[in-house]
Structure 1
Amino acid sequence: MSVTKTVRIEAEMNDSFQVSADIRGHKVFIDQPAGGGGQDAGPTPLEYFLFSLAGCIATIGRVAAMQKKIELKRFAVSVEGDYDPAGLLGKETENRSGFQVMRVTAEIEADCMSSIEKQAFLDEVCDRCPLHDNIKMSTAVVHTLAE
């Protein structure tokens, strides 16, 4: 029987664009570039989103490699996404606000793995990655106003 876990974070915005959180003792910041009104104290939410996907894929890659006894020498993940900023700026657009497409590219260095085996490994890793799953599949997002 599987057990469902809940992951929770709390973030707060100060008087500018900077958003901070203390996550398990790790101080993290989101901000906008100076040219966008922020202080450039951290990555933007979109950059963190892409970084989170890359980090999740890389982490699951390490777990899968350990399970399969693959000596993973290098696993580099690049993620890029295309979006139309008009929606987040409140301007009319035919596009949705989110990324229209995201591209994940992985470089895998491991002894005795052919290109076909590396692609199959990457496919399995992406299928196992919770963030990849959330992006690929429809996930309910519920928002409420705190009382």
Structure 2
Amino acid sequence: MSLIDTTLRERLDRRIEGLRDAREIKPGHPSVETETLSNYHARAHADGFTFDADEPVSKVGGTGTAPRPLRYFLAGFAFCLQAQYVRNAIRMGIELDELAVDVESEIDRRGGLGFRDEPADFESIAYTTTLRTDAPDSDVRELVETAESCCYVHGTLSQAVDLDGTTVVNGTPLDR
């Protein structure tokens, strides 16, 4: 059973055409408001939702009441990429029975501790996109290329860090 409602294609096409025909496409302004509740425990407000971040008890001041902040960063990347897969699968009429993005990263912890001269950053970010579909490999390759090129976070990260992506379709890595 497909996770993607391909019957939305007509509505999506109308929306895209409306934007394409617009005199001006105004920039988007995604935003989040945050506040510190106590020590590492923070709260964010976005789009009418509230969510917390914290550090584990093993960090002095952490209470372990919510995911760590970097987990939200990595999840944001995965969620953004997944949204582009969905949007473009609808556009292309591709049914997906499974769509998952797993993200792993490496950081030099010395940066976050102030033990090196360079700013703290990610050394690398690797992700695996898992798809299950009956679509031909050529269509899947086009979907992968389009989803990655339309994802704001992928575009930003690919210019800033060693970003290594793998796509697995029906259990087999996709050659790109």
Shift of 1:40: 1.2
Larger Rg: 2
Whether the 8 Å contact between 2:94 and 2:135 is mirrored in structure 1 is no
2: CA distance, partners of 1:32 / 1:134: 26
Determine helix, strand or coil for the equivalent of 2:157. helix
In the alignment, the residues of structure 2 paired with residue 117 and residue 47 of structure 1 have an alpha-carbon distance, to the nearest angstrom, of 31
Distance 1:121 1:96, change over 3 A: farther
How far has the Cα of 1:96 moved from its partner? 4.7
Comparing both structures, which one devotes a greater share of its residues to strand? Answer: 2
Please give the root-mean-square deviation of Cα atoms over the aligned residues, in Å: 1.7
Give the aligned length: 136
Runs of 4+ residues deviating >6 angstroms: none
Give the residue type in structure 2 aligned to 1:106.
T
Q: Percent identity?
A: 24
Question: Could you list the runs of 5+ residues in structure 2 that have no partner in the other structure?
Answer: 1-23, 161-176
Query: Which residue matches 1:100?
Result: 123
Show CA shifts across 1:97-125 (max 9, x none).
111111111111111332x5434422221
**Which residue in the other structure is 2:144 paired with?**
122
Question: So what's the TM-score if we normalise by structure 2?
Answer: 0.71
- Counterpart secondary structure, 2:112: coil
Instruction: Tell me the TM-score normalised to structure 1 length.
Output: 0.84
Identify the structure with the greater helix proportion.
2
Distance 1:112 1:6, change over 3 A: closer
Work out which of the residue numbers 83, 94, 97 in structure 2 matches 1:73. Answer: 97
Alignment of 1:1-147 (within 5 A): 1-37=24-60, 38-92=62-116, 96-114=119-137, 117-137=139-159
Measured after TM superposition, the shift of residue 44 of structure 1 is 1.1
